[in-house]
Structure 1
C-alpha cells in the first residue's frame, strides 16, 4: 500500500512541475520563443507554432500525470520528453548556444548541471510510478480535463503573445519595472538623475542582440526630435571600451551607459531590447521586443514613411 501511495505522489510531483513550467510559459511566452530562436533548430516561421504547441503539451501532460490519466502511455511519454530535453540542454549549453535549459522560463535560475540532475530525479520518480503505481481506469471526464487543458493552454499562450505584440508589454508583469512605479535612483546611481525630469525612454540592450540593432535607427531618429522623448541606452557590460565601440560602430547620437549584468537580473530583464517610457521619473509604459504602434505612428508623422512591417 505504501508503495502505491509513493508512486502516486511521485507522479503528482512531476506533473505539478510540468504544469507550473507550462504556466510560466503561458504568462511570458516571449522568453521561451527567444530560447527556441537561439537554438536555431526550427524554421523562423515555425518558431511561434512550436512554442505554443510545446507549452500546451507540457501543461496537458502535467494535468494527465496529476489525474493519473492512462499512465501506461502518459508516464512513458513524459519520461521520453524529459530525456529529450536533457539531451537538448546538454547539447545547447556545451556548444555555447544557450546558457541554461530554458525549462523554467527564467522563473528558476539553475545551472545546466543542476537542470540535468533535476531531470534525472524526475525520470526516476516517473519510472518508480510506472512500476509501482496502481491506478484506476481512466474515465471520460479525466480525458476531457486533459484535452481542455491543452486547448486552454494553447489559447492562453497565444493570447498572451498577441497582447504583448499589440501593447508592447506583458498582460501580467512581476518585474520592478512596472507602470506607475518610480524609477529608483540606486538602479543607475548618478546616471539616474537625468531620468527624473522630462520625458525619457530608457532602452535595455545587449551588444550581441540582433533585434537591438533594428531599434537603433529608429532611436536615433527619435533623439533628433524635440517633441519626442529623449533616449538613454543601457548595455549589459562593464567593459567601458566595449560600450564605446558599440556607440562608435552605429554612430549613436544618444547617451549609452554600460551597466553590470546583475542590474538586468535584478530588474528581470530576460528579453532585449526592453524599454521603459519615463515621465518625470515615473514609468508610464514598458515595451519588450517591439515598440507599440502608437509610438511608431508618432515617428511616422514626424519623419514620413518608416517601415513597420516587422517587429522592431
Structure 2
C-alpha cells in the first residue's frame, strides 16, 4: 500500500514539473523576463539559462513519472524545489518580482501559496524516497528522459525564435489576438480614438528597461504621417507617476495610466507588448520586440 502511495506521490510531482515545463516551452519569453527581473545573471546568459532550466524541469518531470533512477532524481528535485522556494522568497520580498514564475502565468497564485505548494511537493518527494520500492532503470527510460530534455530545449528555443522574428507568439491564449476587435470597455472613453485609423497601442511599465529602448522609436513613429499613431499605456493608478513618465522621456504621444487589473485581464505578462489596430481590429501583436518589417519600414522613411 505504501509503495503505491509513494509511486503516486512521485507521479504527482513529476506531472507538475512536466506541465510547468510545457508552459515555459509554449511561452518562453515570460520565463526569460522573470529571470531578467531577478538580475542574477548577465543579460547574455538569460536566454540559455531559461532554456536550460525549462529542459531540466521537463526532463525531471518525465524521470519522476517513469521512475528513472529515483534514488538520485528525487533528492535533486527536492534540492531544486528548496532552491526555488528561497529564490521566490528573496525575489518577492525585495520587490524584484511579483510571483515565483514557476507556472509561467498559467496559474495565478501568491508567493505564499507558491511556497506552501513547494512544501507539499517536497513532502510528497520525501515520502516517495522513504517508502518507494523502485525497479532498476532500463535504457529506454533514460532515452525518453534525454529526448525530453533535447525536445524541450529545442521547442522552447524555436518558440522564442518565432517570437523574435514575427513579434507575436506561435500560440496565443490572450484576449488580444489578431483579427479581433478592440473592446470599448477595456479603456472606456479612451477607446473611442482607437476605433478608427491606424494605431499602435503599447503596454508599458515605468520600471521596464526594455520599454525605454522602445521609446525613441515610438517618438520617431509618432512624427511620421505615413506611420500609425501611437498610444501608450502604463500600469499605474497614480496619474502623477504617469505624467512624470511622459516628462522624463519627453514623449510626444498620449500615455494613459491604467489599473494593473487591466493588464491581468488582457494577460499582459511581458512588457512592452503592442498591438497594431486598423479601424479597431487587431492586425498584429508584438511582445518584447518589434518585428523586423516594421523597423525596416521606419528606416526607409527616415533616410
TM-score higher than 0.5: yes
Deviations 1:101-153 (A, max 9, x none): 11111111111111111111000000101111122221111111000000000
Deviations 1:55-89 (A, max 9, x none): 00000000000011111111111111111111111
1:65 is matched with which residue?
Answer: 64
Q: TM-score, normalised by structure 1?
A: 0.94
Structure 1, unpaired ranges of 5+: 301-312
Aligned mates of 1:242, 1:50 — CA distance in 2: 34
Q: What SS class does the counterpart of residue 49 from structure 1 fall into? A: helix
Q: Tell me the CA shift for residue 38 of structure 1.
A: 1.1
Aligned mates of 2:82, 2:297 — CA distance in 1: 49
Q: What SS class does the counterpart of residue 136 from structure 2 fall into? A: coil
**Deviation beyond 2 Å, 4+ runs, structure 1:** none
Aligned mates of 1:234, 1:88 — CA distance in 2: 30
Q: Tell me the CA shift for residue 258 of structure 1.
A: 0.9
Aligned residue runs from structure 1 range 133-148, under 5 A: 133-148=132-147
Q: Tell me the CA shift for residue 208 of structure 1.
A: 1.2
Q: TM-score, normalised by structure 2?
A: 0.97
Q: Tell me the CA shift for residue 207 of structure 1.
A: 1.0
Q: Tell me the CA shift for residue 100 of structure 1.
A: 1.2
Q: What SS class does the counterpart of residue 42 from structure 1 fall into? A: coil
Give the aligned length: 299
Deviations 1:230-285 (A, max 9, x none): 11111111211111121122111111111100000000000111000001110000
Q: What SS class does the counterpart of residue 36 from structure 2 fall into? A: helix
Structure 2, unpaired ranges of 5+: none
Aligned mates of 1:96, 1:194 — CA distance in 2: 35
Could you tell which deviates more after superposition, 90-99 or 29-38?
A: 90-99
Cα RMSD between the aligned structures? 0.8
Aligned mates of 2:90, 2:256 — CA distance in 1: 34
Q: Tell me the CA shift for residue 154 of structure 1.
A: 0.5
